[in-house]
Amino acid sequence: MNLIDDRAKEISRANSMLEVASWASYRYATYNHSAVTRIVEAAAKRGEALARELAEAAVEETGFGVVEHKVIKNLGCSRELLDRYTGFDFATPVVDPHSKTVSIPKPAGVVLGITPSTNPVATVYAKALMALMARCSIIISPHPFAKKVCARAAHELNAAAIEAGAPDGVIQVVEEPSIPLIEHLMKSDKVDLIVATGGSEVVRSAYSSSNPAYGVGPGNVPVVVDASANLKDAARRIVDSKSFDNSILCTNESVLIVERRVAEKLKAELARAGAHLCSETESEALRDLLFPRGQFDTRFVGKDARSIAKAASIRVPPSVRILAAEFGAVFPEEPLCHEKLCPVLGLVVADDFDDAIAKAKAVLRVTGAGHSAALHSSDGDNIATFGAALPVLRVSLNVGNSLGSSGFETNLPPTMTIGTGFPGRSSLGENLRPDHLVHYTTIALNRDPAEVLPDRSHLDRNDMPNGPVPAYPLEGVARPSGMDMRPSVAVPRPGASDPGEVTLRAQIRQLVLEELTEMMKG
């Protein structure tokens, strides 16, 4: 088969997925909060039950990270994510009698979720569950290095959702990723939103697709320890965070900056917590190993500290969890100033706190603007100054940044997608949440006191299926367009057992849609 035939086949495969996703998103957008809650709970519990099995499969397939730590992330993006948003309602209209407005939630529709090889299962879980919470359908496009485990995760969540009453195909996955297929998905006008988590090239492709997109910039987290910090706690938290899942999260600490007057004490505490403080010769060996041609060698992504030390001919004891390599100045040509998705931590000493801030800002100029930073301090003035000075959108205080900025050890929204906002050239300035996949139509009443909102008892007109909805009709229900959106099969609401009543309601709904269509044409 020639290249033209191959491309045509891939585009056909993409179009088939898009048709199913469009149908599912249209059907799912009519569900009410109770139905959505039932579906999300079922999918989250399935993910929770498979957290360890899929963590093991992810490490086996990719060779990245630590099983136990991936279990923590998988649970965080299933059970903990469910608990975090219990009680949140992204389906019911919101009435504000004071402002005399009614806000009607409108799901994004079809979401294309691009997931990385570094955090494959957790990212699939997080994006799929948030899409379900927002009443969207989602197509998962995994990194080729993690396609098997991502496909398994997506299929399991989809099956659980369908068993709970979701439309067939509400979660789909690209089982064999290819450039033509992914390009077609990205550029298709049947995709309503792209949520891209991955390398800079993937994010740029998402933003250049002509479709709405949330992309996130790279991390390169500076962590500052000032003279007021509890040095023992700071050292332990930094080592725990930098070694977590072999430093594969983009929120891991990249460069440690410490005030000179406490530098030696902190180094001693770091060593006690499991860090190996590299000599000048050892630091040079790490530069040569990790950045052979000025670029980070991806062979060492997610590898443990001992294997990296062995590859660099550095002798370390079995207890070592991270390698700390000290250097003098922060500038782009210094490899240790760049993001390192492995347990190697750059270390630089600052003259005072002002110098520490200057060095942290210099790290972020290398890369990582908008992402996150960490501070260990008990000085209120320093904390306020640090937060105001750095061009980041989240600062973790007295906590490891790996799980701090991602929301698992702080009260930030738990996520695998870290928005970098204006500084990082991202349209998303927060941790991704379900409500980022919803917009609201606002009905605003005349401010005249004589005008009052009418009875609101029938505002929630969403349908809630009794039992599983029909599977996607293989002969095809084309994607609805414009106002011509009507279900192919009537689904009765609970209590509406009279077929005549169901038919009448459907006819009235259709008449309203046709009237609105004519109004829009005029």
Q: Structural domain boundaries of the chain?
A: 3-216+432-438, 221-404
Q: For residue 28, which amino acid is it? A: Y
Burial of 320 (0-12, 13-18, 19+ CB in 10 A): buried
From the candidates 77, 136, 250, 337, which is the catalytic residue?
Answer: 250
Task: Look up tokens 């060779």; give the residue.
Answer: 63
Q: How far is CA 333 from the centre of its chain?
A: 31
| 250 included as an active-site residue | yes
Average pLDDT of the residues in 400-427: 94
Average pLDDT of the residues in 430-443: 96
Q: What is the pLDDT of residue 293?
A: 87
Beta strands in 158-285 (DSSP E): 171-173, 193-196, 213-215, 221-225, 253-259, 275-277
Q: Which residue has the higher pLDDT, 499 or 463?
A: 463
Torsion from C-alpha of 455, 461, 466, 472, nearest 10 degrees: 180
Among residues 377, 332, 328, which one has the least CA distance to residue 349?
Answer: 328
* pLDDT, the chain, mean: 88
Query: Would you tell me how many other CB atoms lie within 10 Å of the CB of residue 510?
Result: 12
SS percent in the chain: helix, strand, coil, step 5: 45, 15, 40
pLDDT band at 489 (very low <50, low <70, confident <90, very high): very low
Residues 290-310 pLDDT 10s: 999 889 999 999 999 999 999
Of 8-12, 262-266, 367-371, 471-475, give the lowest mean pLDDT range: 471-475
β partners of residue 392: 370
Average pLDDT of the residues in 260-273: 98
pLDDT band at 180 (very low <50, low <70, confident <90, very high): confident
Using the predicted structure, report yes or no on whether residue 40 has a pLDDT greater than 70. Answer: yes
Q: What is the pLDDT of residue 456?
A: 61
Helix, strand, or coil here: 444? Answer: strand
Of 57-66, 319-328, 450-459, give the lowest mean pLDDT range: 450-459
pLDDT band at 3 (very low <50, low <70, confident <90, very high): low
Q: For residue 139, which amino acid is it? A: I
pLDDT band at 492 (very low <50, low <70, confident <90, very high): very low
The DSSP letter of residue 246 is G
Per the structure block, which two tokens stand in for 40?
Answer: 């999300």
Q: Which residue has the higher pLDDT, 343 or 197?
A: 343
Is residue 363 within 8 Å of residue 390, measured between CB atoms?
A: no
The DSSP letter of residue 418 is B
Is residue 43 within 8 Å of residue 124, measured between CB atoms?
A: no
Q: Which residue has the higher pLDDT, 511 or 190?
A: 190
Q: For residue 413, which amino acid is it? A: P
What percentage of the chain carries pLDDT values higher than 90? 77
Q: What is the pLDDT of residue 461?
A: 54
What percentage of the chain carries pLDDT values higher than 70? 86
Q: What is the pLDDT of residue 454?
A: 78
Residues 101-152 pLDDT 10s: 999 999 999 999 999 999 999 999 999 999 999 999 999 999 999 999 999 9
Q: How far is CA 139 from the centre of its chain?
A: 14
Average pLDDT of the residues in 275-285: 97
User: Under CATH, to which class is 3-216+432-438 assigned?
Assistant: alpha beta
Per the structure block, which two tokens stand in for 454?
Answer: 């009418």
Question: Homologous superfamily of 221-404 in CATH?
Answer: Aldehyde Dehydrogenase; Chain A, domain 2 (3.40.309.10)
pLDDT band at 216 (very low <50, low <70, confident <90, very high): confident
Using the predicted structure, report yes or no on whether residue 501 has a pLDDT greater than 60. Answer: no
Among residues 215, 252, 218, which one has the least CA distance to residue 237?
Answer: 252
Q: What is the pLDDT of residue 2?
A: 59
Longest dimension (CA), the chain: 84
Of 183-187, 204-208, 502-506, give the lowest mean pLDDT range: 502-506
Phi, psi of 43 (to 5 degrees): -70, -40
Task: Look up tokens 């599977």; give the residue.
Answer: 471
Rounded distance, CA 23 to CA 249, Å? 35
Torsion from C-alpha of 421, 422, 424, 429, nearest 10 degrees: 0
Residues 437-485 pLDDT 10s: 999 999 999 999 888 877 765 555 555 555 556 566 654 334 333 333 3
Torsion from C-alpha of 242, 244, 249, 250, nearest 10 degrees: -10
| Residue 271 vs residues 38, 116, 233, 309, 320: alpha-carbon distances, Å | 49, 32, 13, 15, 8
Q: What is the pLDDT of residue 496?
A: 37
Q: What is the pLDDT of residue 318?
A: 93
Helical ranges in 138-194 per DSSP H: 147-163, 179-187
Residues 335-365 pLDDT 10s: 999 999 999 999 999 999 999 999 999 999 9
Task: Look up tokens 């039950």; give the residue.
Answer: 49
Helix, strand, or coil here: 201? Answer: helix
Q: For residue 335, which amino acid is it? A: P
Average pLDDT of the residues in 40-57: 98
